Amino acid sequence: MKKKLLCLLLPLFMLLPLLCPFTVQAAAAKAVIYDESGRLGKDYDACLSRLQKAAKKTNMNVAVIIGTEGRTDITIESIAVNSYDELFGKNTDGLLYYMDLKGSAPYDYITTSGMANFFYTNSDQDDRINAMFDALDPYLYPVGSEDVPGAIGKFAEEVEYYFDAGIPEHYYYYDDETRLYYTMGSDGNVVTSSGKPYRDTSVMLMITFMFTVVGLFVALIIFFAVKSRYKFKYSISPTNYVNRKNVEFYSQYDNFVHTHTSKVPLNSDSGSGHRSGGSHHSGGHSHGGHGGGGHHR
């Protein structure tokens, strides 16, 4: 009976991946370009292919919006975040680059989501987002003559470069919406906590230094106070303890005439140099699961 039931169910198990492919396959990372400017033209397919290559390597979604409307900085940031969520879904892994070609005072913006928050960092110590803008800027000057295909190719290159660089040591980010800190655990899974995950060693060193200085200052005060307390008000002469009536003086000659002494310095070859260093803990910021940063050209 069991063998007959197994024979009946086996074909169903074989057909299950075809009937419900989403149950066994994870969604592949995608690449998208929205060219509001129409500047890409025949280069559109090549640029999209380059982004797809970066998306496949990093297993993260990669998108570029080329905007030409005169939008404010806040509007550009909102468009970038909302467009990413609409294209790929919230809390997915990836990043979107808004390239501003409106003309004067352009504002570029990169938004990150999910795992991209760890690789494309925006903290003061590890500001990779700003470094990416520095790499892109040469392709976007002068205004009106930007090399848009070149900038997209460079963006894809930067995405791959910082993915290969890995997550900075002791990096975390704080989400203003969830009020949680996010770190990468040793097992490769994201860990959340309500408190800052790493102790700031720079603050501890500063506190230790301040206590040391205060301690030395107090020690000096105590030293001089004790010294002044036991100091005699007048100098004492040895003759105060001598009976002048019984004193006899004798003549003494120095037989070591024409002799001299010399001082020979001691050679000291001992010397050492010491360079100290320490790891730092850096953290970025996120809101609604999105990190990133903007840049004026």
| pLDDT value, residue 221 | 74
Report how far residue 201's alpha carbon sits from residue 169's, in angstroms, rounded to the nearest whole number.
14
Residue-wise pLDDT tens digits, 20-39:
433 334 579 999 999 999 99
Q: How confident is the model at residue 135 (pLDDT cuts 50, 70, 90)?
A: very high
pLDDT tops 60 at residue 258: no
| pLDDT value, residue 51 | 98
| pLDDT value, residue 222 | 75
Query: Percentage of the chain surpassing pLDDT 70?
Result: 63
| pLDDT value, residue 229 | 63
Higher pLDDT, 278 or 189: 189
| pLDDT value, residue 207 | 45
> Among the listed ranges 148-157, 220-229, 270-279, which one has the minimum average pLDDT value?
270-279
Which architecture characterizes domain 23-199+283-296 according to CATH? Answer: Roll (3.10)
- Which residue is it, tokens 């004193």? 247
CA angle centred on 148, ends 143 and 150, rounded to 5°: 120
pLDDT tops 60 at residue 143: yes
Domain boundaries, the chain: 23-199+283-296
pLDDT tops 60 at residue 235: no
pLDDT tops 80 at residue 6: no
Higher pLDDT, 215 or 287: 287
Mean pLDDT on 109-113: 98
Higher pLDDT, 89 or 243: 89
What residue type is 130 in one-letter code?
N
Query: Percentage of the chain surpassing pLDDT 90?
Result: 52
Q: How confident is the model at residue 187 (pLDDT cuts 50, 70, 90)?
A: confident
What DSSP line would sit under the chain, residue for residue?
A: -HHHHHHHHHHHHHHHHHH-GGGTSPPPP-EEEEESS---GGGHHHHHHHHHHHHHHHTSEEEEEEE-S---HHHHHHHHHHHHHHHH-TT-SEEEEEEE-SSSS-EEEEEEETTHHHHS--SSS--HHHHHHHHHGGGG-STT---HHHHHHHHHHHHHHHHHH-PPTTEEEEETTTTEEEEE-TTS-EEEESS-SS--HHHHHHHHHHHHHHHHHHHHHHHHHHHHHS--SS---GGGGS-GGG----------TT------PPP--------------EEEEEBTTEEEEEEE-
Most confident of 163-177, 179-193, 239-253: 163-177
| pLDDT value, residue 263 | 39
pLDDT tops 60 at residue 87: yes
The token pair at 120 is 């494309």
pLDDT tops 60 at residue 262: no
List beta partners, residue 74. Answer: none
What residue type is 41 in one-letter code?
G
On average, the pLDDT of the chain sits at 78
CA angle centred on 205, ends 199 and 208, rounded to 5°: 120
